[in-house]
Amino acid sequence: MPYDYVAVLLPGITVMTAIQSASQSGFGMVADLESGLMDKFFVAPIRRSSVLAGKLLADGIRMAAQAGIILGIAALLTLANWKIPFATGVTGALLVTLLAAAFGVAFSGLSNFVALRTKNTEATMMVSFSLTFPLLFLSTAMLPKASLPVWVQNFSAVNPVSYIADASRGLILTGFDWSAIGNAFLAVAAFGVVLNGLAVLAFRAQGK
């Protein structure tokens, strides 16, 4: 079965961009710790969790904007070839954007956790980047599952990126598969609860 090259790669590109942006969240956390900005938040009469939540909200908005730009460029490229950009229209494009941004926010938890524990930009970069390529290439982000070696298919079954990629690719190529979409959001939620839970614990331990 022939595939549209842009449509097949698009989910992987949006996820990769979200991961890279999530890594920047940790770098920013280290910079805030080094500058003393976080010390001011720690003594302010506000809940510490609200500081982290605000940072994650800003990250999510930035990631959604990045994903939207990528999808917009892809739509223009598709229209240039006289094809319909997305099988599910604007609603599908918004869901793809939301999935990418949600995964980026989830991955930000790991980046911020490492940043808070090490207070070191290099360590944060090493951990974030060392996980980026396994998450991407041991998933269905860059290729449909049928095109992957069997051992990669087995690993991709437990990789949250695969759920996002499969749901996004379906929204772009075929239509609304609510089972796949629901599974993608569940995978992101589980991933985010664990990683951002670690970040919250590390954040609360600061300044004590």
Q: For residues 114 and 203, is the Cβ–Cβ distance under 8 A?
A: no
Tokens 């094809």 appear where? 83
**Angstrom distances, CA of residue 108 to CA of 39, 65, 114, 127:** 21, 16, 10, 12
Q: What is the pLDDT of residue 102?
A: 94
Quote the DSSP letter at residue 158.
T
- In this predicted structure, the answer to whether residue 208 has a pLDDT above a threshold of 70 is no
Identity of the residue numbered 164? I
Q: What is the pLDDT of residue 99?
A: 94
Q: What is the pLDDT of residue 177?
A: 92
Q: What band does 1 get if pLDDT is binned at 50, 70 and 90?
A: very low
pLDDT tens-digit readout, 176-188: 999 999 999 999 9
Residue 76 burial (10 A CB sphere; 0-12, 13-18, 19+): exposed
Residue 99 burial (10 A CB sphere; 0-12, 13-18, 19+): buried
Highest mean pLDDT among 137-146, 179-188, 198-207: 179-188
- Nearest alpha carbon to residue 161 among 183, 189, 139, 186: 139
Mean pLDDT estimate for the chain? 85
Helix axis angle, 121-137 to 89-118, nearest 10°: 140
Cα distance between residue 158 and residue 201, in whole Å: 25
CA angle 110, 141, 80 (to 5 degrees): 125
pLDDT tens-digit readout, 73-105: 888 877 755 566 678 888 999 999 999 999 999
Q: What is the pLDDT of residue 129?
A: 83
Cα distance between residue 184 and residue 7, in whole Å: 18
- In this predicted structure, the answer to whether residue 70 has a pLDDT above a threshold of 80 is yes
Interval 97-121 mean pLDDT? 91
Half-sphere exposure of 69 (CA within 13 A, CB side): 7
Tokens 């989910």 appear where? 11
- In this predicted structure, the answer to whether residue 3 has a pLDDT above a threshold of 60 is no
- Which helix (H) or strand (E) covers residue 139, if one does? none
Q: For residues 97 and 172, is the Cβ–Cβ distance under 8 A?
A: no
Query: Which of these ranges, 24-38, 53-67, 185-199, has the smallest mean pLDDT?
Result: 24-38
pLDDT tens-digit readout, 46-69: 777 788 888 889 999 999 999 999
